[in-house]
Amino acid sequence: MKFYISMPKGLTPFFEKELEKYRLEFSQGHLQNAWNHLERAHIIGQRYPFAHSFVHWKMLIFGIKIKRLKEVIGQIPRLLVGGVKSFVGKVPVGNPGGANVPPLKTFPIPKEIQGIFQNGVLSHS
């Protein structure tokens, strides 16, 4: 069994770019756009425990800031378990990470993110 610890260096800028876009959109009050960037960061980082847990933390904080109880309650178990599942390589690929979707369901990866993975940025699958 291979353990996944840190994100490949080539993938990190894409992950960080999504988080930066999240912060910008949120600061401008564009909540749906901000959320979409958190979902994209989740898909990019979900195989890596620290990145995965960090995005769920940001999703929890988002839920608190916009006073969406369902999101807050839904993020707590994801925050507690997501990083562990990443560590052992058992994540539902493509899952956007929000409380509005089943936590173990896989989803198609958006084409732009597929391109990031297919261009050799992802060192393992």
* pLDDT tens string 33-61: 999 999 999 999 999 999 999 999 999 99
Q: What is the 3-state secondary structure (H, E, C) of the chain?
A: CCCCCCCCCCCHHHHHHHHHHHHHHHHCCCHHHHHHHHHHHHHHHCCCHHHHHHHHHHHHHHHHHCCCHHHHHHHHHHHHHHHHHHHCCCCCCCCCCCCCCCCCCCCCCCHHHHHHHHHHHCCCC
pLDDT for res 123: 46
Q: Is position 107 within any domain?
A: yes
Q: Is position 4 within any domain?
A: no
Predicted TM-score (pTM) of the model is: 0.90
Q: Is position 6 within any domain?
A: no
Q: Is position 72 within any domain?
A: yes
Q: Is position 95 within any domain?
A: yes
- As for how many domains the chain has, the answer is 1
Q: Is position 124 within any domain?
A: no
Q: Is position 44 within any domain?
A: yes
